Structure 1
Amino acid sequence: MARVTVEDCVDKVPNRFELVLLAAHRARAIASGSHLTVEPDNDKNPVIALREVAERTVPADDLRESLIHSIQKNVEIDEPEAGAAPLIGADRTRQQLGRDDQSSDTAIDQISMSEEQLLRAMESMAPIEPSSNGGGGGNGGARGR
């Protein structure tokens, strides 16, 4: 084949825009070292890619899938089929999703604390060490100089 024209390829890939996308993708693959399926005949990569499409040595469907995969940013992961994994009972699902046992909540709800008691309890839980943002003297104030 001396010359490759769009008319030689349009019957293989009817949409001209898609033909350009597929040929450009194939030309980039050739440039990165992909195996040639036609003789190069001292042609440049875009011409070789069009010749491969025209001679059907590279299936257009394979090029299309490869192009889509190269453009995708989020690759879909196939979910397992329903029969492949055992189902978890409703009672175990609740526990696995982080929901607590409702029967233990009643014991805690019966204990009532005043606001002052709650604050004292929280202060007793605070760390004893001085904070790292300048609460212990030294050169804490010299940082901005």
Structure 2
Amino acid sequence: MARVTVEDCIDKVDNRFELVLLAAHRARMISSGSQISVDRDNDKNPVVSLREIAEQTVSPGDLKEELIHSLQKYVEVDEPEAEAVPMIGSDSAAAGSSEDEVDLTFNSMSEEELLKGLEGMVPPDKSDDL
């Protein structure tokens, strides 16, 4: 087959740099055993991958998704959050009564209230440290 050039593929993938990344990824896929969709004609894997892109036998969008997936180290999976479970070993939680439960509340304080409280504090005596 005639020599494949970037100009043959640039109308399928707009960015030349992205084209190189996609073709290189496809060439690595071919090296790892992926089936090719064009005749090899004694061409090496990068040329075969460019020919596949030029002849539109592989989708550049699919290649891009596969490339992104191959580069991801951590894939976040949206899972539903677990419901609140009572603490293990808590007698009141096992009995189902709420009489012995401690009501935890947190007080919030504004910055002005904090500064007023700090101004009212007295520093400790130096004689206590010795």
Question: TM-score surpassing 0.5?
Answer: yes
Question: 94, 100, 104: which one pairs with 2:100?
Answer: 104
What SS class does the counterpart of residue 99 from structure 2 fall into?
helix
Q: Check 1:98–1:30 CA distance in 2 against 1; reply closer, same or farther (3 A cut).
A: same
Q: Check 1:97–1:3 CA distance in 2 against 1; reply closer, same or farther (3 A cut).
A: farther
Q: Distance in 2 between matches of 1:97 and 1:9?
A: 61
- 1:21-60 mapped onto 2 (5 Å cutoff): 21-60=21-60
Residue type at the aligned position of 1:65: E
- 1:86-101 mapped onto 2 (5 Å cutoff): 93=84, 96=85, 98=87
Q: CA deviation at 1:97?
A: 6.2
What SS class does the counterpart of residue 103 from structure 1 fall into?
coil
- Using the size of structure 1 for normalisation, the TM-score is 0.57
Structure (1/2) with the larger helix percentage: 1
Residues 59-86 of structure 1, C-alpha deviations (whole Å, 9 max, x = no match): 1111111111110011121435xxxx9x
- Which residue number in structure 1 is paired with residue 61 of structure 2? 61
- Using the size of structure 2 for normalisation, the TM-score is 0.64
Residues 38-60 of structure 1, C-alpha deviations (whole Å, 9 max, x = no match): 00000010000000000000011
What SS class does the counterpart of residue 7 from structure 1 fall into?
helix
Q: Check 1:3–1:97 CA distance in 2 against 1; reply closer, same or farther (3 A cut).
A: farther
- Which residue number in structure 2 is paired with residue 122 of structure 1? none
Percent identity, please: 62
Q: Distance in 1 between matches of 2:10 and 2:59?
A: 14
Gaps of 5+ in 1: 107-145
Q: Distance in 1 between matches of 2:28 and 2:54?
A: 17
- RMSD value over aligned CA atoms? 2.6
What SS class does the counterpart of residue 73 from structure 1 fall into?
coil
Q: Distance in 2 between matches of 1:6 and 1:60?
A: 14
- Which residue number in structure 1 is paired with residue 113 of structure 2? none
Q: Distance in 1 between matches of 2:78 and 2:6?
A: 38
Residues 104-129 of structure 1, C-alpha deviations (whole Å, 9 max, x = no match): 257xxxxxxxxxxxxxxxxxxxxxxx
Q: Distance in 1 between matches of 2:79 and 2:63?
A: 25
What SS class does the counterpart of residue 2 from structure 1 fall into?
coil
Q: Distance in 1 between matches of 2:49 and 2:25?
A: 9
Residue type at the aligned position of 1:51: R
Residue type at the aligned position of 1:6: V
Q: Distance in 1 between matches of 2:51 and 2:43?
A: 10
